[in-house]
Chain A
Amino acid sequence: MKRIEALIRPHKLCEAADALIALGIDDVTVSQVREYGSTNGEKVCYRGLEYVADFVSRARLDVLVSDALSGEVIETILTAARTGAANDGMILVSSLAGAMPICDDAHCLEDECASSPSHNDADLPEDRVLSHRRFGAAAIITGLIKLLGLAGARWHDLFR
């Protein structure tokens, strides 16, 4: 098992996460960190006083993958996170001694078990992501129709 830690530009997070999900990896941990870099700080101005924000914001992705998949995952992240400019970030790869879910066997969902190398070609989480979105849209539309219906009923009451 490999642990891939990628420090990327925060605005590239969506692209990188989508690319990983498309690959079938949905077990990604994200955090906001700062990286000290004397060369890549941002010049900020406040009421005429300039200063350098030299602790640069990074989005940190932690991905756990099998050894076989790690190469592909690294390539995916590199492609998604590159901007063509300098100081795009860093990828760190380390070997993992082990990983297990917190929940017990009775509650453990099959795809939460990181001990088994999973999601090579099985159910595409892409469906899950999209179905979440579809569910959201459906809920909104249903809600609106309900509201209109309610309004219509009241209108009828008021003006009968």
Chain B
Amino acid sequence: MKIGGRAVKWVIMGCLSIALLACWRSGLAQDEQPAPGTASTATAAAEPKPDPAGTATGDKSAAIDGAGNAFVVPEPTDTSDPEYAKKKAAYDEYVEQAAKEPLAVKLADTVGHVRIGTNFSWTLSTGYLVLFMQAGFALLTCGLVRKKNAGHLMMLNFAAYAIAFIAYYVAGFAFQWGAVAINAAPSNIGGSPTLNEFLIGGGQWGFLGGKGFFLSGPAYDASANVLMLFQVVFMETAGYIIVGSICERITFGAFLLCEIFMGAILYPIFGCWAWGGGWLSQLGNSMGLGHGYCDFAGSTVVHGIGGWCAMALAIILGPRTGKYGPDGKPRAFPAHNIVFVVTGTFILLLGWMGFNPGSTLAATDLRISVVAVNTNLAACAGALTAMLFWHLKFGKPDISMACNGMLAGLVAITAPCAFVNANSAVAIGCLAGLVVCSGVLFNERVLKVDDPCGAISVHGYCGTLGGLCLGIFADGTYGAGWNGVGASSYMGNAGQGVTGLLYGDTSQFLCQLLGAGVNIAWAFGATFIIFKIVNAARSMRVTRDAEIEGLDVPEFGGLAYPEDAISSSTA
């Protein structure tokens, strides 16, 4: 691998050091026992034990009805609570009824287990759909580049999956989810109670999770593994997004570094802030900003990170040789296979049926149907808007832009899909179609940032749009108690969920604005700083000759379409 050898060694040593430190710390935490002789009258919470076989996950505490009322009524402890009397009465009634019907209480253990099992099945299956998006994106991007680079694109997409996965297993998962049980326990899939420590920060200001390195110890747990499978494929999505803008000129070695960075550092850290119980998600509790930063399935957490990282890398790498003429005018580098592009887009659409509805982590959360329909509505609205835009501007609808329009709609709806109604979904899709078309033209002609597959516009710009649209269009019909805010009532209404600007909540929009800003600053900033240094140590671009010949042979020794090369020695 022709990359800065010393730079790589430092990066790897740095990563391993952090990982070892975290392992040691989590090992210590496990070994800590209460000092013998200290009798504690308070409920000393014993360190939860991981459950690798899944036999202890899901019991009567997981038995919940459609409205979210638990079968097992918790004992109220806060005597100053205005509702204390009512809660105490409910608890007493439960205790009385449980005594009369012990068999029903036992049955509730089974019911809870089945509920968790159903949700395991749901989360894993939707995760597999998201995994399949890897194939869709590989086809999409391969079709959008020149034939001489087809093998290079395919290998980038392929290798991205493998190496980012390992990076995430080593450290990424722990950074993102190591503290999830503190503020954002995924109760639908067993709660992952063992992942309960921040490496940096704590309470409502967590910055980095600290348990579960190498998916071992506290993370060797059935619930944690479901979370891992589902979340790693989301990370992979951010990982392959960058391929779309850095292809046709990046060396394979430099690319592997990008993927390690994405899987272990860039994605998980923002993911911790927004989803892992970190500070962005807790802004509702800590600073009274709506329900905290919300992003249902990852417009900003996944696509924004990928898109803005892609932009930073594209700027560092520079445009492809010959893309801009001496007068600065861009030249067309046409897609070599539109069939791949459209097929890839449809596979991505199918994958999104896992991406969005799966983010409930529960088949028992029946909002999944609304989520699925909203996703499709935005996809279609985005595609049609892009077709219309291009037809009005250039006379004919461009096929690849129509596909990008659909993807833009999907990206933009990813954050708000659970919180909006059908009309809002269509509106969001239309906005995304406009943004992506303008964005592609803006990047190419004004900023002069070469983005072969439009990844920056589709994922970066529309990802941010999605995050903001949540703060505008969310109608309050779902998400009561999101991020621990307003469980009993919000804005004066019981059961009011996440609400946006158009439905009366300004603070949510402000929170989204803040979170989206942090997303852009983190994704673009961290990538730019680190890879500017890497690029200075050893150029991340292939040589000019290799680029003109096509990267298939110089980088991988073989062609994607070997019959293009005429040889006297093969048939």
Using CB atoms and an 8 Å cutoff, list the residues of chain A in contact with chain B: 44-51
| Residues of B373-430 whose CB lies within 8 A of A | 390, 393-396, 398, 400-401
Bound complex: CA A45 to CA B393 (Å):
12
B334 to chain A: closest residue by CB: A46
| Contact in complex: A49, B331 (CB < 8 Å) | yes
| Contact in complex: A48, B390 (CB < 8 Å) | yes
Bound complex: CA A48 to CA B334 (Å):
11
Q: Enumerate chain B residues within 8 angstroms of A46, measured Cβ to Cβ.
A: 332-335, 398, 400
Bound complex: CA A49 to CA B331 (Å):
7
Q: Enumerate chain A residues within 8 angstroms of B398, measured Cβ to Cβ.
A: 45-48
20 A-B contacts, Cβ less than 8 Å apart? Answer: A44-B332, A45-B332, A45-B394, A45-B395, A45-B396, A46-B332, A46-B334, A46-B400, A47-B332, A47-B400, A47-B401, A47-B440, A47-B444, A48-B390, A48-B394, A48-B398, A48-B440, A49-B330, A49-B444, A51-B332
Q: Enumerate chain A residues within 8 angstroms of B390, measured Cβ to Cβ.
A: 48
Bound complex: CA A45 to CA B330 (Å):
13
Smallest CB–CB gap between B341 and chain A, Å? 11
B200 at the interface (CB under 8 A from A): no
Using CB atoms and an 8 Å cutoff, list the residues of chain B in contact with chain A: 330-335, 390, 393-396, 398, 400-401, 440-441, 444
Q: Enumerate chain A residues within 8 angstroms of B444, measured Cβ to Cβ.
A: 47, 49
Q: Enumerate chain A residues within 8 angstroms of B396, measured Cβ to Cβ.
A: 45
Bound complex: CA A160 to CA B334 (Å):
60
A48 to chain B: closest residue by CB: B394
B394 to chain A: closest residue by CB: A48
- The majority secondary structure among interface residues of chain A is strand
Smallest CB–CB gap between A48 and chain B, Å? 5
Q: Enumerate chain B residues within 8 angstroms of A49, measured Cβ to Cβ.
A: 330-332, 444
The listed residue with most B CB atoms (<10 A of its CB), out of A44, A45, A46, A47, is A47
Smallest CB–CB gap between B459 and chain A, Å? 17
B398 to chain A: closest residue by CB: A47
Q: Enumerate chain A residues within 8 angstroms of B400, measured Cβ to Cβ.
A: 46-47
Q: Enumerate chain B residues within 8 angstroms of A45, measured Cβ to Cβ.
A: 332, 394-396, 398
| Contact in complex: A48, B441 (CB < 8 Å) | yes
Bound complex: CA A46 to CA B454 (Å):
13
Bound complex: CA A48 to CA B332 (Å):
9
Q: Enumerate chain B residues within 8 angstroms of A50, measured Cβ to Cβ.
A: 332
Q: Enumerate chain A residues within 8 angstroms of B441, measured Cβ to Cβ.
A: 48
Complex partner residue of A44 from B330, B334, B440, CB under 8 angstroms: B334
Smallest CB–CB gap between B407 and chain A, Å? 14
Smallest CB–CB gap between B169 and chain A, Å? 38
Bound complex: CA A50 to CA B330 (Å):
10
B401 to chain A: closest residue by CB: A47
Smallest CB–CB gap between B391 and chain A, Å? 12
| Contact in complex: A48, B393 (CB < 8 Å) | yes
Q: A44-B334, A48-B394 are in contact. List 6 more A-B contacts (CB 8 A).
A: A46-B332, A46-B333, A48-B393, A49-B330, A49-B332, A49-B444
Q: Enumerate chain A residues within 8 angstroms of B332, measured Cβ to Cβ.
A: 44-47, 49-51
Smallest CB–CB gap between B566 and chain A, Å? 14
Q: Enumerate chain B residues within 8 angstroms of A44, measured Cβ to Cβ.
A: 332, 334
Q: Enumerate chain B residues within 8 angstroms of A51, measured Cβ to Cβ.
A: 331-332
Smallest CB–CB gap between A5 and chain B, Å? 22
Q: Enumerate chain A residues within 8 angstroms of B395, measured Cβ to Cβ.
A: 45
Q: Enumerate chain A residues within 8 angstroms of B393, measured Cβ to Cβ.
A: 48
Smallest CB–CB gap between A60 and chain B, Å? 18
Q: Enumerate chain B residues within 8 angstroms of A47, measured Cβ to Cβ.
A: 332, 398, 400-401, 440, 444
Bound complex: CA A9 to CA B324 (Å):
33
Bound complex: CA A51 to CA B333 (Å):
10
Smallest CB–CB gap between B454 and chain A, Å? 8
Bound complex: CA A44 to CA B441 (Å):
18
Smallest CB–CB gap between A34 and chain B, Å? 16
Bound complex: CA A44 to CA B330 (Å):
15
B441 to chain A: closest residue by CB: A48
A53 to chain B: closest residue by CB: B334
Smallest CB–CB gap between B59 and chain A, Å? 48
Smallest CB–CB gap between A141 and chain B, Å? 32
Smallest CB–CB gap between B367 and chain A, Å? 37
Bound complex: CA A50 to CA B393 (Å):
13
Bound complex: CA A47 to CA B390 (Å):
8
The listed residue with most B CB atoms (<10 A of its CB), out of A49, A50, A51, is A49
Q: Enumerate chain A residues within 8 angstroms of B330, measured Cβ to Cβ.
A: 49
Smallest CB–CB gap between A112 and chain B, Å? 24
B390 to chain A: closest residue by CB: A48
Bound complex: CA A46 to CA B330 (Å):
11
Bound complex: CA A44 to CA B398 (Å):
11
Bound complex: CA A48 to CA B393 (Å):
8
B333 to chain A: closest residue by CB: A46
Bound complex: CA A46 to CA B444 (Å):
13
Q: Enumerate chain A residues within 8 angstroms of B440, measured Cβ to Cβ.
A: 47-48
Bound complex: CA A48 to CA B445 (Å):
11
Smallest CB–CB gap between A32 and chain B, Å? 14
Q: 7 closest Cβ contacts across the A-B interface?
A: A49-B332, A46-B332, A46-B334, A51-B332, A48-B394, A47-B398, A49-B330
A45 to chain B: closest residue by CB: B394
Smallest CB–CB gap between B141 and chain A, Å? 14
The listed residue with most B CB atoms (<10 A of its CB), out of A44, A45, A46, A48, is A48
Bound complex: CA A48 to CA B333 (Å):
11
Bound complex: CA A50 to CA B335 (Å):
14
B404 to chain A: closest residue by CB: A47
Smallest CB–CB gap between B443 and chain A, Å? 11
Smallest CB–CB gap between B197 and chain A, Å? 49
Smallest CB–CB gap between B333 and chain A, Å? 8
Bound complex: CA A49 to CA B393 (Å):
12
Bound complex: CA A34 to CA B196 (Å):
67
Smallest CB–CB gap between B558 and chain A, Å? 25
Q: Enumerate chain A residues within 8 angstroms of B335, measured Cβ to Cβ.
A: 46
Smallest CB–CB gap between A84 and chain B, Å? 26
Bound complex: CA A50 to CA B334 (Å):
10
Smallest CB–CB gap between A49 and chain B, Å? 4
The listed residue with most A CB atoms (<10 A of its CB), out of B334, B393, B401, B444, is B334
B454 to chain A: closest residue by CB: A47
Bound complex: CA A3 to CA B140 (Å):
46
Bound complex: CA A9 to CA B527 (Å):
52
A50 to chain B: closest residue by CB: B332
B400 to chain A: closest residue by CB: A47
Bound complex: CA A46 to CA B143 (Å):
13
